[in-house]
């Protein structure tokens, strides 16, 4: 699996798939930004290389509808503070207005696309939707381990339309941990498994 360091990203448009599915309180304030902080090494590396950084993510389960409570606006605001630079929130993740914003980007700038799941086509791995996402970038970077197993347009479909694809630092780190724990673990071994959806963990537990 190629790493972001293996590619020449200077001045290129990077579409970076992250997992900003962060918890929010009733006032839509982020209560835990661990997932945002986790991708900072990848984002900072891309910015240091003077790339044009286009970030995409989902948040919650809006079921293909535009619902204000699932906007990535809080994530854009928090990321801007963490990067100490402006993060522009695009009005959508596809469409003419978003494409215009991307085409006007300067090296070292950051755009966060609006919630991918405002479009049902994301979870359907729709080819047309994936093609539109791919049309925004020169290089695709996956840095979202939590969704890497999902056959969604921003994870699987987009890679069919982008010539250069690679892993970000967070995905690479998680995969290294995973391979070491499965192929050559130190023993005794204790696995601590968490998450809201126990059903999705049973198969993995059965194979440990």
Residue 197: predicted pLDDT = 67
Work out the number of other CB atoms within 10 angstroms of the CB of residue 186. Answer: 7
- Domain of residue 180: give its range: 4-206
Q: List, in sequence order, every residue forming a beta bridge with 88; answer none if it has no partner.
A: 111
| 5, 139 contact by CB (below 8 A) | no
3-state secondary structure of 21: coil
Torsion of the alpha carbons at 5, 40, 148 and 77, rounded to the nearest 10: -140
Tens of pLDDT, residue by residue over 126-165, are: 999 999 999 999 999 999 998 998 999 999 999 999 999 9
pLDDT digits (tens, 9 = 90+) for 132-142: 999 999 999 99
In DSSP notation, 142-166 reads: E--GGGTTS--TTTTGGGGS-SEEE
Q: Model's pTM, two decimal places?
A: 0.91
Mean per-residue pLDDT for 109-127?
98
* Closest among 130, 133, 125, 129 to 99, alpha carbons compared: 133
Q: How many CB atoms lie within 10 A of CB 10?
A: 11
Question: pLDDT-based confidence at 204, cuts 50/70/90?
Answer: low
- For residue 127, what is the domain's CATH number? 3.40.50.1260
Within 153-208, strands assigned E span 164-167
Domain count, the chain: 1
């Amino acid at each position: 699996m190629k790493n972001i360091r293996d590619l020449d990203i200077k001045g290129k448009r990077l579409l970076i798939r992250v997992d900003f599915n962060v918890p929010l309180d009733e006032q839509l304030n982020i209560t835990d930004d661990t997932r945002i902080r986790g991708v900072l090494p990848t984002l900072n590396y891309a910015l240091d290389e003077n790339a044009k950084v286009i970030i995409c993510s989902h948040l919650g389960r809006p079921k293909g509808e535009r619902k204000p409570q699932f906007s990535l606006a809080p994530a854009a605001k928090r990321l801007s503070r963490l990067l100490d630079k402006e993060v522009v929130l695009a009005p959508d993740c596809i469409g003419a207005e978003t494409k215009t914003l991307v085409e006007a980007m300067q090296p070292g700038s950051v755009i966060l696309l609006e919630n991918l799941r405002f479009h049902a086509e994301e979870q359907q791995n729709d080819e047309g939707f994936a093609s539109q996402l791919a049309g925004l970038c020169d290089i695709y970077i996956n840095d979202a381990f939590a969704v890497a197993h999902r056959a969604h347009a921003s994870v699987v479909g987009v890679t069919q339309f982008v010539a250069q694809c690679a892993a970000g630092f967070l995905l690479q780190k998680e995969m290294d941990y995973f391979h070491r724990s499965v192929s050559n673990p130190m023993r005794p071994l204790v696995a601590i498994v968490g998450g809201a959806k126990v059903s999705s963990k049973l198969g993995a537990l059965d194979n440990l």
